[in-house]
Structure 1
Amino acid sequence: MSAPAQTAPPPAAAPALSAEEAGRRVDEVLERLAATGDEQARAAAEELVRVLMDFYGTGLARAVDLLRRTGSDAGPGPLEPLLGDGLVAAMLVLHDLHPEDLPARVERALDTLPGHPLAVDSHDPSTGVLRLKPTGEGGCGCGSTREAAHRAAADALSCFAPEVAGVEIAETPRQAPLLQIGTRPAGGSPGPAR
């Protein structure tokens, strides 16, 4: 009798690559090729990137179309899980397939920020800068909290709304201290007259 066959454990999945990081890595490879001076290799690499982008874009367009066709009676929408996933949303935006406009995608990105309640204050389309404002009583107003909120917002926006070129968070206006008016404690001295 032979021993049962040993199956190898499945390979570990590669960590998800954000659209921003993927673009940065592609640019780095193309720059390294350009630095070699081999124009044919550089041109071939650029063509390869274009062909792959076209291939994946066509596949994504077909998937979105099929989901739309089957989704007329599917409740909140069959695209919702795709639109809510940062990686898939970034691919849809990259291929100009995302059905939501920029304001809707910005709101979707901000909704992914637990602990960092932010809302849109303004957007300058000419510069791509999005100005955000705190919406609640979150944090202590210290720099580390503000920096964490900025970093989290920028990361979320890079997936859902890569058209946003910069993020600014408005200062939270300081509130005047609460003036408490009440009766003087029993037996207390009246204090100096004014």
Structure 2
Amino acid sequence: MTVAAASSRVDELLDQLAATADLRTAETVEELVRALMAMYGEGLARLVGLLSGRSGAPLDALLGDELVAGLLVLHDLHPEDTARRIDRALAAADAASYRVDGFDPATGALRLTGRADGCGCGSAEATRARIEEALSCFAPEVGPVELSSAPREPALLQIGPRPGAR
């Protein structure tokens, strides 16, 4: 389960509780969720602190995991900047052939240029979906994603003797 999906489910359950339970119960449950978030956030902070600066880059494995990376971002503990986390998302989405043409932190808009895989029959939308799912974990501050196709490289012209000519 991704962080975005889990967060959405928690919001859904809290809304359901607020609509059906008495006010005191709903407030108690919301306080419980806040306390759990604080506890897990403190645990993650200690984990990052213990692994940072160790030889062999032990933190890399955590930062490359979508769920752990998403939790670190959620708790504002992720040590990498947005650009690096976007790169991780593109790698996780198997979309490393795309390059970032621009990111607007105010709106969250991300412009990418690259070449979609596949035959073009919906592959750009499948690629966009993979990218957006990975971004929701690694860089949730990214909003709309605009994909542009890179111009095709010119075909290589082979100069040589004609077939059958010597």
Q: TM-score category by the smaller chain?
A: 0.7 to 0.9
Which among 15, 18, 30 is matched to residue 46 of structure 1? 30
Kindly provide the CA deviation profile for residues 35-80 of structure 1, in whole angstroms up to 9, marking residues without a partner as x.
Answer: 12621122112111110000000011111111125x0xx13x1201
Which among 160, 168, 173 is matched to residue 146 of structure 2? 168
d(CA) in 2 for partners of 1:87 and 1:144?
Answer: 28
- TM-align CA RMSD: 2.7
- Partner SS for 2:52: helix
| Matched residue count | 163
Structure 1: tracts of 5 or more residues without a match = 1-16, 182-194
- Asked if 2 retains the 8 angstrom alpha-carbon contact of 1:117 and 1:138, the reply is no
Kindly provide the CA deviation profile for residues 88-110 of structure 1, in whole angstroms up to 9, marking residues without a partner as x.
Answer: 10111111111000001101111
Q: Which residue of 2 aligns with 1:62?
A: 46
Which among 105, 126, 132 is matched to residue 106 of structure 2? 126
d(CA) in 1 for partners of 2:95 and 2:68?
Answer: 24
Kindly provide the CA deviation profile for residues 124-152 of structure 1, in whole angstroms up to 9, marking residues without a partner as x.
Answer: 11111111111x57433x24110111001
The structure-2 alpha-carbon separation of the partners of 1:22 and 1:93, relative to structure 1 and needing over 3 Å to count, comes to same
Which TM-score applies when normalising by structure 1?
0.74
d(CA) in 2 for partners of 1:42 and 1:165?
Answer: 31
Indicate the percent of aligned positions where both proteins have the same amino acid: 51
Which among 83, 91, 106 is matched to residue 63 of structure 2? 83
User: More helix by proportion, 1 or 2?
Assistant: 2
- Partner SS for 2:50: helix
- Partner SS for 1:48: helix
Between Structure 1 and Structure 2, whose CA radius of gyration is higher?
Answer: 1
